[in-house]
Chain A
Amino acid sequence: EPEVTQTPSHQVTQMGQEVILRCVPISNHLYFYWYRQILGQKVEFLVSFYNNEISEKSEIFDDQFSVERPDGSNFTLKIRSTKLEDSAMYFCASSEALWPYQPQHFGDGTRLSIL
């Protein structure tokens, strides 16, 4: 069964550094998402992306965050200047369509640790 893959599985970065998290969505999917989960807390929506544009973003997704689909297969999340509070699991997801409802398929995440 096709799956969403994320790399790296664990990223350790110094505070203030830039970090790029990478995702390969399922190949025929058109909608892409990033979520994060701080340890012990809920999964939180960050951003959705369709047709090379951000469709929706949360309050968390401020100017320090950006997303890109640099080629036909990868979907990246960049954090420009990391803060300690950015430490979390980051999950990428993709779906075939929005309507009628198609489920989102998640990767196993990248654990981001900011020192």
Chain B
Amino acid sequence: DAKTTQPNSMESNEEEPVHLPCNHSTISGTDYIHWYRQLPSQGPEYVIHGLTSNVNNRMASLAIAEDRKSSTLILHRATLRDAAVYYCIHNQGGKLIFGQGTELSVKP
């Protein structure tokens, strides 16, 4: 199964940007990079995805390295509601293989 590496935890201050890194050195040419997050007591929630180019949506930005072996999820202004476990996943569609993710805590 596709393997990603993320830090176990990160801390941020409210209203500051957060950069969440992910290594995916085994990614193949057609795998998408997806980010989901899981707030406490909720199901996973889609955040963003990309293939080669950097991507922006209303929730976040995704910066993908030129060799596609790593990516960074950027939350431009963290809020308390962004405290969650963030998962970086790569596959070609179908099943999602979740790792342990990065637990993001946001301090007021």
Contact = CB atoms under 8 A, between A and B. Distances in A.
Contact of A56 (B32, B46, B94, B99): B94
Contact of B96 (A4, A45, A109): A45
B46 A103 contact: yes
Interface in A7-26: none
Contacts of B95: 33, 45, 48, 56, 58
A107 B43 contact: yes
Main secondary structure of the interface of B (DSSP, over half): loop
| Size class of the B contact interface (CB-based, 8 Å) | 10 to 19
A86 interface: no
Contacts of A4: 43
Nearest to A89: B43
A4 B42 CA distance: 12
Interface in B16-48: 32, 34, 38, 41-46
Given A42-B99, A45-B97, A106-B45, 17 more contacts: A33-B95, A35-B44, A35-B96, A43-B44, A44-B98, A45-B96, A48-B94, A91-B43, A93-B43, A93-B44, A101-B34, A103-B49, A104-B44, A108-B41, A108-B42, A109-B42, A109-B43
